[in-house]
Structure 1
Amino acid sequence: MNPNEITPHLFRTEYSKIVAVLCKTFDIKHIEIAEDIASETFLKASEYWAIHGLPENPTAWLYTVAKNKVKDYFKHLAVIEKNIKTELKTIKSEQEQIIEFDTKNISDSQLEMIFTICNPINSRETQICLALQILCGFSVDEIANAFLSKPETIKKRLQRGKDALRAYHFKIESLQEKDILLRLETVLKTLYLLFNEGYFSRTHPLLIRKDLCLEAIRLTLILIDHSITDTPDTNALLALMCFQSSRLEARINNQGEAILFDEQDESLWDQTLIEKGNYYLVRACDTSNTQVSKYHLEAAIAYWHTSSLSPDKWHAILDLYNQLVIMEYSPITVLNRTFVFSKVYGNKKAIIEAKKLNLTENEYYHGLLGYLYTEINKELAMKHFEEAIRLTSSKSEKQTLQKQINGLKQTM
C-alpha cells in the first residue's frame, strides 16, 4: 500500500491516541507539548516511509517513535530543565516514566482526555471545538463547517479555549461521577458531529469518510463500556450510528457520486449493523423514566429508513421529524422533514412547504426543490440543481447534482 494513502488514515486514528496517552502519562498541562511530539512522530513517518516503504506494523512503529520522541524531548531540552519540570510530573525521572500504548490505556486516556477538555470553564461551543480538534483530529475548516462558522472565528475560539485550560491548570484526571454526567451532553455532541462529518463530508473530496464514522462508533462504545456513561442518550446515539453506517456501502457509487435513498440497492445494507442498531435502540428506551432526546428521535428515524416498506413508514418518520423540529430546529432538519412530507402528501404540497422555509442561500434547499420539481417542471428542477451547484463547495455534491441535470436534459 502507498504510504501517501495510509498516513492520513493513521493520522486520523492514531494522532489523538498518542496525544491522550502522553498527556495522561506525563501529566502535561500544556496540550501543545503532546501535540508537537505527536506531529513530529507523523512527520518522521511520512519522510521515512516514503524512502523505505511501510513497516510491517505501522501503528506499532508510530508508538515506538513517539516513545523515542519523548526521550529526545527531555534530552535535547535539558537547557530549560527548570521550566520543563513545571510542566511535567515525574515518578523518579522523566526517562524512567513508562509509556504504555496498550488498548486499555489508550481507551482510558482518550475517555479521560475528552471529559477533561469538555471543561465548563469554556463555553459549550469551545469545548466541542477543542474536542473535535484534539481528540478527533478535525482541521479548522472541518470544525467551521460543523458550526456553520468562519475558520478565523474557530481559530480564535480554539486559542482562547486552550489558554483557559492552561490557566485552569489543565490536567487529565479521573473525574467524579457528577462532573462526568455534567459534561456528558457535550461529549455526545462532539461524537455526533464527528460521525456526521464522516457520514456526509462537506470539507473533503470524499463524500463519505468511513474512518471518521468508525472512530465515532469506537469512542461511543468506550462510553457504553463504562457504567456511568452507559446512559439512554449514549445508547440512542450509538443506535443512530449503527443504523446510518449500515447503509454506507449503498450511498455512493464507484465514481464517488451519491446515490439517492430511493435508488439505493438494499442488498448492500449491512444487516448486522441494523441488528446492532435495534439492540442499542431498545437499550436506550429500556427504562420507564427515559427522557426522549434528539438522539432517540434521530435513531428512530434511521430505524424506519432501514426497515422494509410498510403503509405507515413515511407517516411514522414524518411524526418523528415533527417532534425533532420542535426539540431542535435546524435547516437540515426542516429540509429533511420536507422531503418526508413529500412522501406522505406528494411533491406539489411539499414544494409549498419548502418555499415557506425561504432558505435561498442553502444548497440543500435548492437540491430538494430540484428533486421535488423533477416530475412537475423539468426546467425549474434544473434551475434549482444549478443553484445548488453554485452554492456547494463539495466536489462530490457538484458531480451528483450535475448528473441529475444531465438526466433531466435527456428526457426533454
Structure 2
Amino acid sequence: MSASLEQRIAEVYQAESRRVLATLIRLLHGHFDMAEDALQDAFIAALSQWQRDGIPDNPRAWLVSAGRFKAIDQLRKSTRLDSCLEELAQTLEMESQIQSMDADDALEDDQLRLIFTCCHPSLAMESRIALTLREVCGLTTEAIAAAFLLPVPTLAQRIVRAKNKIRDARIPYEVPEPDALPERLEAVLSVVYLVFNEGYSASSGTQVIQGDLATEAIRLTRLLRDLLPNAEVTGLLALMLLHDARRNGRTSVDGDLIPLEEQDRSRWNQSQIREGCDLVIQALKAGPPGVYTLQAAIAAVHAEAPTAAATDWAEITGLYDVLLRQCSSPVVALNRAVALAMRDGPEAGLKAIDAFRNHKELQHYYLLHAARADLFRRLDRSQEAIQCYQQALDLVKQEPERRFLQQRLAMLQKK
C-alpha cells in the first residue's frame, strides 16, 4: 500500500469512524460491542479493497454497508452457539435488503442519538462520562482511565455496566421528543462540561491541565452545536474556548500553577478569545441567557481585559448576580464573593462568604478555604490566613494546587 493511500485511509478513519459507529449502533439495534467490532471489520476490509479499487466516492456509506454485512456474517457464525442471535441475524438481513446505504442515512441524527443515549439520565454520571468519551469521542479505555486516575479494569467495568443498563432497560436510541429536549439537553451539556472541567483543572493528580480532555470536550460541543443549534450549546462552546484560551499562561515550565492576576496575557490564544467573544454575543442575542452563557460572558470580561488591573469587576459582579438568581449554587455564590472582594475590598468578600460558608456542599471544597485565606492575607490577618490555608491543604488533591497553597502558607509563616 502506498504511503499516500495509507494516509488517506487514516484521514477517513479520523473523520468518519465515530459517525459510522453511530449509524452501526442504530442498524444493529443498540448492540454497542457488535457495532464496534463491525466498525473495525469494515476498516480492515477497506484496507484491502480500497488498495485495489481506490477509495469510493462516499467512503462513509461504504463503511456503514460493509460494517453491517460483516456483523451479519458474524451473527450467522454465532447462531450455531447462541440460538437467541438467530432472530437478530434474520432481522438485519431483511433490513439490509430494503434499506440503501447510498444516501447519508441520516448520520447527523445518528450522532445525536448516540450522544443522547450515552448521556441518558438513568445512567450514573460517571457512567455517562465514561461512555461518552469512549463511544462518541473515541478515546481508548486506557486513556480515559489515565485521565481520571482510575484502574483500567474499573473504568472498563463502568463502561460495560453502562452498556448493559442501556440494553436491559431498553433505553431508546433516539433524539428526545421536542417537549423532553430541554431537560435531556441539559443532561448532555452537564456531561460535556464535566469532561471539560476535568481537562481544564484536574480534580487530582500531578498536572493542572489534561489537554486531551479539554480539546475533546470542545470538539464534542462543536459537533453538538452543528447538529443541534441552541443558545446554551453556543454559550457552553464560548465558555470552553475562553477558558481554554488561557491554557499556555496557566502553568510555569515546571508545571506550577500561575494565578490569573500573574499570567502573561500575551500567551493567551487570541483567536480563541475572538471566537469565544463572538459566540457570547450570538448566545446573548438568541434569547434570555442561560447559566453557560452567563459564565461565558464572565469569562469574556476576563479575556478582554488587557491587564489584571483593568478587569471590570463591577460588570463581573453584576453578571454573577444574574447567574446566582438562575443557579443558587454555593459555588457560584463563592465565585461572586471573590468578584465582590475585587470590586469592594476583601472585607466585603469575607462578609459575603460568611453568609453561606457553612453550606454542606462546601464542607469539603478546598477553594472555599483558599478564598478565605487569600482575603485574610490581603487584610494582613496572617494567623487567620494561615489557618485557612492549612484547612485548604487538608482537602486539596491536585499536586500543583497543593504546591501553590504551600508557597502562600510558607510566605505567611516567615513573617
Shared fold per TM-score greater than 0.5: yes
Q: Provide the residue aligned with 2:189 in structure 1.
A: 188
Q: 1:291 is aligned with what amino acid?
A: P
Q: Distance in 2 between matches of 1:200 and 1:269?
A: 16
Which one of the candidate residues 129, 133, 138 is aligned to 2:130? 133
Structure 1 position 335, deviation (Å): 1.8
Q: 1:193 is aligned with what amino acid?
A: L
Structure 1 position 236, deviation (Å): 1.0
Q: Provide the residue aligned with 2:50 in structure 1.
A: none
Structure 1 position 326, deviation (Å): 2.3
Counterparts in 2 of 1:127 and 1:176: CA distance versus 1, 3 Å: farther
Instruction: Answer yes or no: is the 8 Å Cα contact 1:16–1:134 preserved in 2.
Output: no
Q: Does 1:207 align with 2:208?
A: yes
Q: Provide the residue aligned with 2:238 in structure 1.
A: 239
Q: Does 1:374 align with 2:377?
A: yes
Q: 2:364 is aligned with what amino acid?
A: E
Q: Distance in 1 between matches of 2:296 and 2:382?
A: 34
Structure 1 position 321, deviation (Å): 1.1
Instruction: Answer yes or no: is the 8 Å Cα contact 2:242–2:296 preserved in 1.
Output: yes
Counterparts in 2 of 1:312 and 1:302: CA distance versus 1, 3 Å: closer
Structure 1: which 4+ aligned runs deviate by more than 6 Å? 13-19, 69-73, 97-100, 155-158
Q: 1:225 is aligned with what amino acid?
A: D
Q: Does 1:26 align with 2:28?
A: yes
Q: Distance in 1 between matches of 2:230 and 2:117?
A: 19
Q: State the number of aligned residues.
A: 353
Counterparts in 2 of 1:345 and 1:267: CA distance versus 1, 3 Å: same
Q: Provide the residue aligned with 1:361 in structure 2.
A: 364
Q: Does 1:338 align with 2:364?
A: no
The TM-score with structure 2 as length reference comes to: 0.70
Q: Distance in 2 between matches of 1:115 and 1:73?
A: 28
Structure 1 position 300, deviation (Å): 0.7
The TM-score with structure 1 as length reference comes to: 0.71
Q: Higher relative CO (CA 8 A, sep ≥ 6), structure 1 or 2?
A: 1
Q: Does 1:384 align with 2:388?
A: yes
Note the alpha carbon deviations across 1:158-184, whole angstroms, 9 max, x for none: 95x655532453453566555655522
Structure 1 position 17, deviation (Å): 7.4
Structure 1 position 215, deviation (Å): 1.1
Structure 1 position 156, deviation (Å): 9.4
Q: 2:302 is aligned with what amino acid?
A: H
Instruction: Answer yes or no: is the 8 Å Cα contact 1:21–1:110 preserved in 2.
Output: yes
Structure 1 position 81, deviation (Å): 4.2
Q: Provide the residue aligned with 1:59 in structure 2.
A: none
Counterparts in 2 of 1:218 and 1:352: CA distance versus 1, 3 Å: same
Q: Does 1:394 align with 2:398?
A: yes
Structure 1 position 27, deviation (Å): 2.9
Find the residue that maps to 2:285 and give its secondary structure.
Answer: coil
Which one of the candidate residues 303, 306, 311 is aligned to 1:306? 303
**Percent identity between the aligned chains?**
26
Q: Provide the residue aligned with 1:3 in structure 2.
A: none
Q: Provide the residue aligned with 2:275 in structure 1.
A: 276
Q: Distance in 2 between matches of 1:323 and 1:158?
A: 41
Note the alpha carbon deviations across 1:228-256, whole angstroms, 9 max, x for none: x2011111111111111111111112222
Q: Does 1:323 align with 2:347?
A: no
Find the residue that maps to 2:383 and give its secondary structure.
Answer: helix
Q: Provide the residue aligned with 2:83 in structure 1.
A: 82
Find the residue that maps to 2:394 and give its secondary structure.
Answer: helix
Q: Which has the larger radius of gyration?
A: 2
Report the more deviating stretch, 229-238 or 329-338.
329-338
Note the alpha carbon deviations across 1:52-106, whole angstroms, 9 max, x for none: xxxxxxxxxxx9xxx7x97996587454342334566534799xx9999x9x96x
Counterparts in 2 of 1:264 and 1:232: CA distance versus 1, 3 Å: same
Q: Distance in 1 between matches of 2:88 and 2:405?
A: 52
Aligned CA-pair RMSD: 4.3
Instruction: Answer yes or no: is the 8 Å Cα contact 2:301–2:311 preserved in 1.
Output: no
Report the more deviating stretch, 360-369 or 258-267.
360-369
Instruction: Answer yes or no: is the 8 Å Cα contact 2:234–2:279 preserved in 1.
Output: yes
